[in-house]
Chains A and B, each alone.
Chain A
Amino acid sequence: MRVLVIEDDAEMASFIEKVLVEAGHSVDKADDGERGLAKARSEEFDAMVVDRMLPEKDGLTLLKEFRDAGGTTPALFLSALGDVQNKVQGLKAGAEDYLAKPFAPAELAARVEALGRRTPGQEPPVTVLKAGDLEMNLLTRKVTRAGQKIDLQPREFRLLEYLMRHAGQVVTRTMLLEKVWDYNFDPQTNVIDVHVSRLRAKIDKEFDEPLLHTVRGAGYRLQG
């Protein structure tokens, strides 16, 4: 993917660049709001990472102007102001996702990856999700692996659905909390791990090849 990083702090910018390049993306950088906006308008990117506090033009304004002018490139908002209200503001301004500094490299990589898959408006309506021999029918809510029926609780179903939609990608615990549980707070205990391991017991236990992997220090990945 081609990612535009708009960040004024040079050290932070090169850290982001390094993380994204390691994840296999190519990165373009802009160090103030004006230049970032000009670049986002004139070139094609698959995703952009926008810092909230920028010289010349702050991230919120930049994104609003970009969206108002019809720009559709999915954006991840970065900010040191990690509270919920700021997050809501960022999402309202047109960001697809929000990440508070400081963040773990894996978190950034996973979120940018998830952004790229979005390509808004072009997703064909899917009724069946597939990952390896695992199948999920979104209409009948049936899940099978190698033809064998798997019974899931509603929450487990949603958890698996999210993992399957992001099959092959690393998904962090925070992402799961936000997207599957819609929580913007930290429940502290390893609650997510427990839920994932229960799900894993259901989909992997009786099969030779495990599909749901734990990625150390980052989160989980459902093998695509």
Chain B
Amino acid sequence: MKFALPTFLRTTTFKLALLYSAMFAAFSAALLVYLYYSTVYYIRAESDRRMDLEFEQLGNAYFTGGMERLSESVFERMTRNGSTFFYYLEDASGRRIAGHFQRMPAHNPDLDVQTVYFEVTLTEPDGSEVVRPVAGRIVRLRDNGGALLVAFDTAQQTAIVGRIQNAIFIAAPIGLVLSLLGGLLISRGAARRADELARTAEMVMGGELGRRVPVRGSGDEFDRLGQRMNAMLDQIEKLVESTRNTGNAIAHDLRSPLSRLRNRLEIALSEPMSKESAEATLGETVEEVDRVLGTFNAILRLARLEAGAEGERVRMDVSELAEELAELFEPACEEAEQSFRSQIAKHLMVLGDRDLIGQALSNLLDNAIKYTPVGGNVSFTVARGPEGTVDLTVIDTGPGVPPDARKRVVQRFQRMDSARTQPGSGLGLALVVSVAEMHGGELILSDGNGPEGSPGLKATLRLPRA
């Protein structure tokens, strides 16, 4: 059977945590080793220094007063309270002159100076005996042949070193374990958040398009990633939704003209017709087919526009275009017995495609004329908008679009029910929105200036000025 590691042990964060704890361990080990050796070295150096001092003073006694003075000095030191040193002095024949010990510990008699380690049995004030490890230095006396031993109890030193060793041997594994545990915890936390992202992605793939990554609001990188991912999912959902709607809407919108066509052709087939009525029927049929083709063209155009495949933006005078359009539409407006007013600020430049902006404005003007009743009016204004924009605004006195329907009417094939009786593909405003987006602008719908109940529509195409 294969041993499967828990998922989080395979994550990048865990591997990183592992790496960090290894680095931490190596660093701690180096630090502890340094600490250990430097402490031990310091302790040795300190006792060496005190030993040197001791010998210097005893040496002075010896050189000024000979053996006699030295032995006196040794006695004096032995009886001095609080002395941490042990002494032993012997003459050339090896006879004990003074000292804490009965005889000189084992040593090499040929060396002038040597360090020895040995153990002594001491009697405590309470009468018990303890064995203490000692380190000493034996110095052969010049011109005399005698020898002087100065030694000190190393138990304290050993205890300090031992405590440091203990600390190291206990602390190191604990530190290692803690750093590993910390690494595990951190990596599990990170892995869990990465898992949340992965789970959300899986659920979205599984068709739950509304799923979103939980965002904690901590502003960390996972939150930022989550926010980006959510924004992406919003966009995808919108696109899928619009594709779905478009598909349904195309089917729905084309069904009726196609079935009308079919009926007409059926009738033409089944009934003998006069030349005139046959011509009329065929003429209507051609018109119907043209409308269907027109719808398809509009769909294709919109698709190309959204894919960024259409339009070439150059610096252009949008005021000039607006003036031409006002001139083009004014007669049509008057024909429909509406009054037309235009107010166009001069020489406003945009970076745009003349044909696309023209088409977008035409769509707005066409809508305004279509939905404004006889005696109403259509106004067309071009003026500077806020923050370096230009507002191209068409206001009508038609029924208007209620606020809750505004989002919908700009979508493809989404028409208000009251508008279904009017000719049109249901793509007009969708195209305006696409053109606006392509130019980095927007389409803003609001109420016109009419009374409540029929406020009219104010449609503003806002484009950045160039």
Q: Decide if A147 is an interface residue (CB 8 Å cutoff).
A: no
> Which residues on the A side are within 8 Å of B311 (C-beta)?
84
Could you tell me the distance in whole angstroms from the C-beta of B296 to the nearest C-beta in chain A? 10
> CB-defined interface of A42-81 with B at 8 Å, one 1/0 digit per residue?
0000000000000000000000000000000000000000
A-B contacts counted at CB < 8 A amount to 58
Which stretch from A19-27, A114-122, A188-196 is at the chain B interface?
Answer: A188-196
Contacts of B370 in A (CB 8 A): 189
In the bound complex, how far is the Cα of B364 from the Cα of A188, in angstroms? Answer: 10
* Residues of chain A with a CB closer than 8 A to B362's CB: 185-189
Say whether B331 contacts A194, CB under 8 Å: yes
- Contact at B356–A185, with CB atoms within 8 Å? yes
- For the complex, is A102 an interface residue (Cβ under 8 Å from B)? yes
Which of under 10, 10 to 19, 20 to 34, or 35 or more describes the interface residues of A? 20 to 34
**Contact of A198 with B366 at beta-carbon distance under 8 Å, contacts A102-B293, A184-B355 already known:** no
Kindly state the separation between the CA atoms of A186 and B356 in the bound complex, as whole angstroms. 10
Q: Kindly identify which residue among A102, A186, A191 contacts B359, using a CB–CB cutoff of 8 Å.
A: A186
Contact call B297/A82, Cβ cutoff below 8 A: yes
| Interface size range of chain B in the complex | 20 to 34
Distance between Cα atoms of A82 and B331 in the complex (Å): 29
A155 touches B327 (CB 8 A): yes
A15 within 8 A of B: no
The interface residues of chain B lying within 8 Å CB-to-CB of A190 are 332, 335
Q: Chain B residues with Cβ under 8 A from A83's Cβ?
A: 301, 304, 310
Measured between alpha carbons, how far is A82 from B324 in the docked complex, in Å?
24
Quick check: A187 and B301 within 8 Å, CB to CB? Answer: no
A125 in the interface, Cβ–Cβ < 8 Å? no
Residues of A within 8 A of B329 (CB): 187, 189, 191
Q: Which residues of A contact B365 (CB under 8 A)?
A: 187, 189
Residue from B304, B335, B356 within 8 A of A194 (CB atoms):
B335
Q: Complex Cα distance A214/B299, Å?
A: 31
Which residues of B have CB within 8 Å of A198? 331
Is the C-beta of A124 less than 8 angstroms from some C-beta in chain B?
A: no
What sequence of 0s and 1s flags, for each residue 123-156 of chain A, a beta carbon within 8 Å of any chain B beta carbon?
0000000000000000000000000000000010
| With A102-B293, A155-B327, A191-B328: A183-B312 Cβ-Cβ less than 8 Å | no
Interface residues of B in 302-334 (CB under 8 A from A): 304, 310-312, 324-325, 327-329, 331-332, 334
0 or 1 for each of B351-364: is its CB under 8 Å from A? (1 = yes): 00001101100110
- Provide a sorted-by-A list of 12 A–B residue pairs whose CB atoms are within 8 angstroms: A84-B311, A104-B290, A185-B358, A186-B362, A187-B359, A188-B362, A189-B362, A191-B329, A194-B335, A195-B328, A198-B331, A217-B283
A interface, CB within 8 angstroms of B: 82-85, 102, 104, 155, 181, 183-191, 194-195, 198, 217
What 5 pairs between A and B have smallest CB-CB spacing?
A: A185-B359, A187-B362, A194-B331, A188-B366, A184-B355
> Using a CB–CB distance below 8 Å, which chain B residues touch chain A?
283, 290, 293, 297, 301, 304, 310-312, 324-325, 327-329, 331-332, 334-335, 355-356, 358-359, 362-363, 365-366, 369-370, 424, 428
